Homo-oligomer: A and B are copies of this chain.
Amino acid sequence: MLKQERHNYILEEVRSHNKVLSSELSHKLNVSEDTIRRDLKELSDNGQIKKVHGGAMQHAYIPFSHKDREIYAHEEKVVIVRKAIPLIQDDFVVVMDGGTTNLELARQLPLDLKATVFTNSLPIALQLSEHPKVETVFIGGKILKNAQVAVGLDVINFVADIHADICFIGTRSIHHQFGITDFDREETLTKQALVSCAKHVVSLPISEKINTVQPYKVTGIEKVQTLITELASEDDLLTAYRKRGLQVL
């Protein structure tokens, strides 16, 4: 295993768990604690993490109570969500995957919209429970800690019985050739189930996710009917998707 690989792994761990322990890393990566210490020191000197006795932590601690309030690239996501809302009609059955864009969608739903929303995301369910007319159904299952979404067999079984009008699928990466991809295997399988339970699948990526790829495939691009970004629909970046027959907004 290369040093760079370890560094990437460590950074990923820190991002998702807020901390790492030297002893744990040493065990997982099969190197001595000395090496880990050197890794941590280097990353710390670069300002990428904060070294502490026994391991390292993320620089800025983002407490639980604030974490879900702040949305990365919020402006862009508001633009996207505005374009997405007209897709939802009264009495629709909607499936909403996790992700901050979908959370923003949940927040911006018109208060007079009457619909049933199935979701596997805890923050989205909480948000929707405050909506006066939307009936919220949580798709239960094992909760993935970082993402605060339910995943796994329970989810997959649950949605097998649903035929939704529209599905908003969380999109970590989308590529005109490789489709929607993600990096967590279990999450990917769950997303596959969500995608296949709706006739109309919508992806809402911010433009920086366009034409990036992650290890695991959620779905091919042909299963996605609509793509909405914060860009103008004629933007060059989206040409490939228009050509493949997607509705681009």
Judged by a CB distance under 8 angstroms, whether A52 is at the interface is yes
Tell me the dominant secondary structure on chain A's binding face: mixed
Indicate whether A140 sits within 8 Å of B158 (C-beta atoms), given known contacts A8-B63, A57-B5, A122-B122.
yes
Q: Assess the B140–A139 pair: CB atoms within 8 A.
A: yes
Q: Does A3 contact B (CB under 8 A)?
A: yes
For residue A46, CB closer than 8 A to chain B, the reply is no
Where the two chains meet, the residues of A that have a C-beta atom closer than 8 Å to any C-beta of B are: 2-5, 8, 11-12, 15-19, 21, 50, 52-55, 57, 61, 63-66, 69, 120, 122-123, 125-130, 132, 135-145, 148, 150, 154-155, 158
Instruction: Please determine whether B140 and A137 come into contact, CB atoms closer than 8 angstroms.
Output: yes
Contact B148 A143 (CB under 8 A): no
CB-defined contacts of A137 to chain B, threshold 8 Å:
140-143, 150, 154
- Give 12 new A-B contacts, CB below 8 A, not counting A3-B54, A8-B63: A2-B21, A2-B54, A3-B53, A8-B61, A64-B127, A65-B66, A122-B125, A122-B138, A137-B142, A137-B150, A138-B140, A140-B155
Residue of B69, B130, B135, B143 near A138 (CB, 8 A) is: B143
Q: Hey, which chain B residues are within 8 Å of A55, CB to CB? A: 2
CB within 8 A of A126: which of B18, B57, B63, B122? B122
Give chain B residues whose Cβ lies under 8 Å from the Cβ of A11: 63
Question: Given the known A-B contacts A140-B158, A143-B128, are A69 and B65 also in contact in the complex, defined by CB atoms under 8 Å?
Answer: yes
**With a CB–CB cut-off of 8 A, which chain B residues contact A128?**
143
A2 touches B57 (CB 8 A): yes
What are 20 A-B residue pairs whose CB atoms fall within 8 Å in the complex?
A: A2-B52, A4-B52, A5-B57, A122-B122, A122-B125, A122-B138, A123-B126, A126-B126, A128-B143, A129-B144, A129-B148, A130-B145, A135-B142, A136-B145, A137-B140, A138-B138, A138-B140, A140-B140, A140-B150, A140-B155
